Chain A
C-alpha cells in the first residue's frame, strides 16, 4: 500500500537483470567447448571477442550471484516465492533473509520473483487459473481476505494452532490474516500512519505538536502562509485516499459499517474544513502519499500524514530537513491504520510443509529482528516491539506506540469496492460536489450490502 509508480519503474531493472543472468549462464557453459579455438596461437579478432565476452560473463555472474539466490541446486526442495519488494532496503533485506535461510538449510532453494505492486493481484489471479502459482506469496494486508475468499490460499489453522505463537502478535495485523475464523497467513511487517512535523517551520511559528483535532486545526492554520500549507494528506482516488482518511473515522468511534453517522460526518467535515480554511490544498485529492512526501520535503507542507517507509527516503534525500513524528491527534479515541504485508502459502502446492517451515523460521525473534531492522520495517509481534531497537529510537518509538491502536481493513472480500465508495465520498465532499451528509449517505447505501453478513 505504498508507492506504486516507483515500483513499476523497478520492474524493468529487475527483468533485465534476470535476462542478463540467463544469458551469462549459457555463455559460461559454452566456454569449455570454445577452448580448442582459444589454444590456437594466433589471436584473431574472433578469439579476442570471445575472451572479452567470457570476461564480461564472469563479471556479470559474480554480480548476479551476490544479487539473487535463484540458482537451483540439484536434489533439494525448491520453494517458489513471490513478493513485490523490488526496491531499496525492502528488496535487499528480503534477499538477505532468504539467503540466510538457504545457507542454514542446505537442500532448500528459495526461488524468489519480484513482481510490481500493481501487477501482483492480477498475476496471482492469472496464476490461479493457469495452475502456475508460487508456494509463498507476500500480499498487501487489505487484500488478504479477498484472496482467502478466492480459495487461492492454504488454510493454516491447524498448523497455527500447533505452532502456538498467535498470541504474540498485535491484534490488528493478526486479524488481517484471518478470514471467517480461519488462518490464512502470518503477518510479515506492519506499518501505520503518524503525523510528521517540520520542526524548523513549527519552531519558528511556535507551534507545538497537536494532540487533538482542535489543536490540529489550529496548528494547521498557524502553519499556513503564502504557498506553504499547514497540512498535507493524500485524498487521491485509490486505496491510498481511504488509507489516509480511515484513522480519522475510527478516532470518532465510528466505523465503516456506521460511516453515515455523527462520527463519520465529523471525520469528513474535518478534511472539508481544513481545505476550506486553506490549511490544506485542494490538490490533496490528486496527491498520492508520495506526492504528500514531496510537499513536505520542499517545505510546501509543514505537517503531513505518512508512514514509516518514508523514513529512509527522508534521511537520504533530505538530510537537512528537520522533522519529528507524533501520534495522530485524537478525537474520542486514538487510532491509526494498519498497513503492511502478510505471508501466505498457496493452496494445494507440493511444498506446503517446507513453505510453512520457512515462514516460521522467519518469525523466530532473532531472525525477524535482523530482517525488520535491515528493511526499516516495524514488527507485528508484541514481544519484538518491546525490543530496545524500536523503543530506544525517538522516531521508531512513536510508530510502535501508534501501531498499538492501528486497525486493519478487514471488511470481507468486497473491501476494494467499499474502499471505492469511501474514496468517492471523500472526493465529492472535499471538491464541494456534495455536502458531507449526502456524500456519506450515498457511501453508506453502497457499503451496507457489501459488508460480510456475519
Chain B
C-alpha cells in the first residue's frame, strides 16, 4: 500500500538516465522526513546495542573498565556464560517463569474478557478496578505480594489455615520449592488486566451479526465459541501472547522487589542475573554478553511475531 502511493506520486518523473532531476530530488525529499526518526533510533537504540555488542567481545572488568584498552577476547564471554551452570539455571528459571505466567494470565484474561464482553450493570466499574493491578507501580505490587506470602503474617497463610488447607506457617518466598511459584503468581496478577483489555477489544470487534447467524443455524454456545470466537480471535490472541512473552521474559523489578533472585538462585531470572553480573560483580563483558543473548532471544520472538502476523494478514 505504502509502496504504491510513492510510486504514483513520483513515478513518472523518476528516470535513472536523467541523473539528478527534479523528481529524484523530490524522492530524496521523502527520505529527508525520515532522517529525524532514523537518527533518533540510531542514537537511542542502535548505538547502545552496538556498544553492548562491542563490550561483549572484550574483557571488560573492574580493572579494565576505565582504562579503555579492553582486551579483545572473541566469544570467550559467551562461552563462559554457556558453560556456567548459574547462567543455565537462570535460563531455565526464566523459561518456567515466562511459560507459567503466560499460560495462566492468558487463560484467565481470556475468560475475563468473555465475561466482560456482555453488558451488565457495573461492567465498566469492575473493569476499571481490575485495571488497577496493571496501573500499580511494580514496587507496590511486589511489596504487596511479598507480605501477602510471608510465613509469619501473610494473608495467604491466614486464609489457607482458616479453611484447613495448611496447618503451620509456610514461607512461600523463602522456601526454594515455592519461591518461583510465588513470583509467578504475582506476575500473573499483574498481567491479567493487560491480557483482558486487549482480548476484550478483539472480542468487541467480532460483528454480532455472525453470532446471530450462527444461532439461527442452531449452533449452541460451545459451538459458537469453537467455530466463531476462537478462529476470529487468532490474530489478536497471537499478538497478546507474543507481547506478553516479550514483556514477561524481561521482568526484573517485580522479582527484585519480592526475592532479589533468592532464596539462593531460585528466582534468579536472566535479567536479574545480567544485572548482577554488570552492576554487582562489575563483570561488564560477561554482563554485556548475557544482555546480548537476552536481546537475541527477544528479537527472535519479535521476528516470529512479525512473520506470524504477516501470514495472518495474507490468509
Contact = CB atoms under 8 A, between A and B. Distances in A.
Are A and B subunits of one complex? Answer: yes
Interface of A: 121-122, 125, 128-129, 146, 149-152, 227, 236-238, 281-283, 285-286, 300, 413-414, 416-417, 420, 423-424, 427-428, 431, 433
A125 B60 CA distance: 13
Contacts of B27: none
B265 A424 contact: yes
Interface residue SS majority, chain B: loop
Given A149-B62, A286-B173, A413-B63, A428 B282 contact: no
Contacts of B67: 151
Interface residue SS majority, chain A: helix
Nearest to A227: B152
A427 B263 contact: yes
Interface stretch (B41-49, B104-112, B273-281): B273-281
Leading 4 A-B pairs by shortest Cβ distance: A237-B262, A427-B263, A237-B260, A417-B281
Given A283-B152, A285-B262, A420-B276, 6 more contacts: A150-B282, A281-B152, A285-B171, A286-B150, A427-B264, A431-B174
A427 B66 contact: no
Interface residues of B, number: 27
B202 interface: no
Contact of A417 (B66, B173, B280): B280
A134 to B, nearest CB: 16
B281 A150 contact: no
Contacts of B76: none
Interface string B254-272: 0000011111110000000
Nearest to A128: B66
Contacts of A420: 276, 280-281
Nearest to B173: A286
B260 A238 contact: yes
Interface in B96-123: none
Contacts of B262: 236-237, 285, 423-424, 427
A282 B151 contact: yes
B264 A428 contact: yes
A129 B48 CA distance: 14
B264 A300 contact: no
B59 to A, nearest CB: 15
Contact of A286 (B146, B261, B279): B146
Interface string B219-261: 0000000000000000000000000000000000000000111
Contact of B259 (A286, A424, A433): A286
B162 to A, nearest CB: 16
B147 to A, nearest CB: 10
B62 A431 contact: no
B65 interface: yes
B184 to A, nearest CB: 17
Which of A121, A286, A416 has the most chain B CB within a 10 Å cutoff?
Answer: A286
A236 B261 CA distance: 10
B174 A282 contact: yes
Nearest to B151: A283
A283 B174 contact: yes
B62 A146 contact: yes
B63 A149 contact: yes
B264 A424 contact: yes
A282 B280 contact: no
Contacts of A417: 280-281
B65 A282 contact: no
A227 B276 CA distance: 36
Given A150-B65, A283-B171, A433 B263 contact: yes
Contacts of B23: none
A427 B262 CA distance: 8
A236 B169 CA distance: 19
Contacts of A236: 260, 262
Given A151-B67, A413-B63, A420-B280, A431 B176 contact: yes
A132 to B, nearest CB: 13
Contacts of B151: 281-283
Contacts of B279: 121-122
A150 B67 CA distance: 8
B170 to A, nearest CB: 9
Contacts of B150: 283, 286
B62 A150 contact: yes
Contacts of B152: 227, 281, 283, 300
B280 A416 contact: yes
A97 B19 CA distance: 73
A286 B282 CA distance: 25
A282 B259 CA distance: 14
B174 A285 contact: yes
Contacts of A433: 176, 263-264
A114 B223 CA distance: 64
Which of B173, B174, B176, B280 has the most chain A CB within a 10 Å cutoff?
Answer: B174
B63 A237 contact: no
B93 to A, nearest CB: 14
Nearest to B283: A417
A236 B179 CA distance: 14
A416 B282 contact: yes
A449 to B, nearest CB: 13
Given A286-B146, A286-B174, A237 B66 contact: no
Nearest to B265: A424
Contacts of A283: 150-152, 171, 174
A446 to B, nearest CB: 10
Which of A300, A413, A427 has the most chain B CB within a 10 Å cutoff?
Answer: A427
Contact of A237 (B65, B263, B281): B263
Interface in B148-176: 150-152, 169, 171, 173-176
A149 B262 CA distance: 29
Contacts of A300: 152
Contacts of A146: 62, 282
